[in-house]
Structure formats: structure tokens, C-alpha cells
């Protein structure tokens, strides 16, 4: 438990480890927009989002988290998904929000999806890395994970690390470590930019476009305001030590190098046209 001052208010923060495994989407998430285009079925074990010409859809977690590991299995929009974006991310609120992004950019049938990642700190992003996947993400479910620790953020696909964003506060780079975040996901039309920079538009004759979710798991610190407990899923007290043994091991580092060598297609750190004065400090 800790005390944080925010303006004239004093918040009492209760933080505990919560492990949610094979939970119910009814229990863990709210369908937030899209009317009936967002659905929970199979007894709460499966969730779908759909997009048509009228609207997309989305959901968000009931709880807020501050550090931990978030896993979700997704099966993306099949066929001609050009112009669509399936976003799955952690975010706080407000102009100076923090955010950790997976975005799946659709493409024409037979062309690969682009996995777009970004990290926002204090409202500022512009830290994009993009990847092709080494499988077809529309044929089966695959696991997309975020490990968020005070030391770093790791993006993983089927438990293979694809990106590490390290805490570089020591050289003046803000790091998301004080704002609790909810989990969000949405399926929406972005044909002004998503596919080949907006050259390929959404083919509405293929609508509705649908993405599926299952097997949500959070091993994370949940955040509560006031003196209430963190909820029935709390299993142990938050401990600083638990987060310090989280560096990638040698096989993890090799897999990270493999992904970045063969599947990374954009890295903001090497975009000299965008940063003619040199890359941002965290890249050095």
C-alpha cells in the first residue's frame, strides 16, 4: 500500500498480485462500443469484435494494472483485411497518458499482416517498430504478450520476444511506471493509412470483418483507489524483488535477434530521414 498526491487529492493505493487464468470475459472485460458487433460467447470463454461500414467495436478490462504480464490469444481477420486495424494495447488516460501497443495492420489476401508496436510515455509516442509474422495469424489462435516491469517492456509473440523497450530514465527518457493502465482492444477502419500508406482501401463487400479472442491471462499488479482490496483474484502481495529477475536469458536473446534480423521491417531508431539530427537517446 502506498500514498500518492495528485493535485489536492490524496489517493491510497492498494496493489496486489492478481493471477487471472482462463477467466471469463464476462468477469474481466466490458464491451464498450460497437453495439452488438462485440460479442462474448461460449460461456464467457470466447470474444469477437466485428467491423462493418457503419461501425467497428471494442472492449476494455474492468481492472487497471501497474506492472505484470498480460497474455491474450487472438485470431485475426481472415481474407482481404486491407484497411482494417485490430488494436490490442495497455493505456492510461489523459493528455500525458502512457500506452503499450500491438496493432495488426490488415492487407490484401495473400499478403502478410504487419504487426505495429509502439510505446507512449507522458503522451508522446513515435517509437514504432514493425514486423512481419512468421505464420498466418488468421488460421489459428496465437498468443500476444506484454511484460511490463520497472526495468523494461517486452513484447512477445507465442512467447518469442520481438521487442524490448528498456527504462532509460537515467539519460532523461520518460518510462511508464506510475500510471495504471487498462487493457483495450478494438477493430476499426483505418484505410486512410493502414495498408500501403492508405493506397489500398477497405473492400466493404467483404464485411463484416471479425477478429476472435480467447485465453486471457494476467499475472499482474492490480490497482485500486481507496482502502478496498484488490479483488478476489489477488493471490500474493506485490514484491519489488519479483520483478528484478526478468532479464531475457540467452535463448531469449537469440530469439529476439532472430526476429529482429529476419522479420523487422521498420525501426524508428534507424530512420535517419525522420531523425536527421540523430536517433532518439534511448536508441543509442
Residue 233: the pLDDT is: 38
Helix, strand and coil in the chain, % to nearest 5? 15, 45, 40
Per cent of the chain over pLDDT 70 is 85
pLDDT at 206 over 70: yes
The closest of 83, 74, 49 to 205, measured between CA atoms, is: 83
Residue 64 among the catalytic residues: no
Residue 15: the pLDDT is: 55
Ordered domains of the chain (ranges, CATH): 25-228+240-270 (2.60.120.200)
In the sheet that 57-61 helps form, which strands lie side by side, from edge to edge? 29-33, 57-61, 182-189, 84-91, 99-105, 114-120, 129-132, 264-267
Q: Would you state the cell numbers that stand for residue 100, as one nine-digit string?
A: 503499450
pLDDT at 140 over 60: yes
User: pTM for this structure?
Assistant: 0.88
Determine which one of 64, 99, 169, 247 is catalytic: 99
Residue 282 among the catalytic residues: no
Confidence at 2, pLDDT banded by 50, 70, 90:
very low
Q: What is the mean pLDDT of residues 25-29?
A: 97
pLDDT at 36 over 60: yes
What mean pLDDT is reported for the chain? Answer: 88
Confidence at 12, pLDDT banded by 50, 70, 90:
very low
Tell me the DSSP string of 182-245. Answer: EEEEEEEE-TTTTTGGGTSPP-GGGPPEEEEEEEEEEEEEEEEESS----TTEEEE--GGGGSS
Asked if 200 and 191 count as a contact pair (C-beta separation under 8 A), the reply is yes
Q: What is the mean pLDDT of residues 143-157?
A: 98
Q: Would you state the cell numbers that stand for residue 217, as one nine-digit string?
A: 491471462
Determine which one of 103, 128, 169, 247 is catalytic: 103
Strand partners, 90: 100, 183
Q: What is the mean pLDDT of residues 217-240?
A: 54
pLDDT at 232 over 80: no
Q: In which region does residue 170 sit, left (phi positive, over 0), alpha (psi from -120 to 50) or beta (all else)? A: alpha
Amino acid at each position: 500500500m502506498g500514498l500518492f498526491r495528485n493535485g489536492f487529492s490524496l489517493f491510497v493505493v492498494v496493489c496486489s498480485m492478481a493471477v487471472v487464468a482462463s477467466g471469463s470475459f464476462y468477469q474481466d472485460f466490458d464491451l464498450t462500443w460497437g453495439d452488438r458487433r462485440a460479442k462474448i460467447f461460449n460461456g464467457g470463454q470466447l470474444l469477437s469484435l466485428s467491423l462493418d461500414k457503419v461501425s467497428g467495436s471494442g472492449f476494455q478490462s474492468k481492472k487497471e494494472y501497474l506492472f505484470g504480464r498480460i497474455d491474450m490469444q487472438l485470431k485475426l481477420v481472415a481474407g482481404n483485411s486491407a484497411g482494417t486495424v485490430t488494436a490490442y494495447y495497455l493505456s492510461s488516460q489523459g493528455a500525458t497518458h502512457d500506452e503499450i501497443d500491438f496493432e495488426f495492420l490488415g492487407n490484401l489476401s495473400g499478403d502478410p499482416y504487419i504487426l505495429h508496436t509502439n510505446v507512449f510515455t507522458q503522451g508522446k509516442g513515435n517509437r514504432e517498430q514493425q514486423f512481419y509474422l512468421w505464420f498466418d495469424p488468421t488460421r489459428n489462435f496465437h498468443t500476444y504478450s506484454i511484460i511490463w516491469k520497472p526495468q523494461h517492456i517486452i513484447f512477445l509473440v507465442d512467447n518469442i520476444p520481438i521487442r524490448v523497450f528498456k527504462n532509460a530514465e537515467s539519460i532523461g527518457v520518460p518510462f511508464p511506471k506510475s500510471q495504471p493502465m487498462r487493457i483495450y482492444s478494438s477493430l476499426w477502419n483505418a484505410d486512410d493509412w493502414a495498408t500501403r500508406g492508405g493506397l489500398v482501401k477497405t473492400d466493404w463487400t467483404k464485411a463484416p470483418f471479425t477478429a476472435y479472442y480467447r485465453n486471457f491471462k494476467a499475472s499482474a499488479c492490480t490497482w485500486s483507489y481507496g482502502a478496498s482490496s484488490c479483488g478476489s483474484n489477488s493471490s500474493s502481495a506485490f514484491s519489488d524483488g519479483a520483478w528484478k529477475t526478468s532479464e531475457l536469458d540467452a535463448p531469449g536473446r537469440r530469439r529476439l535477434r532472430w526476429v529482429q534480423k529476419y522479420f523487422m521491417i521498420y525501426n524508428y531508431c534507424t530512420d535517419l530521414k525522420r531523425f536527421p539530427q540523430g536517433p532518439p537517446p534511448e536508441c543509442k
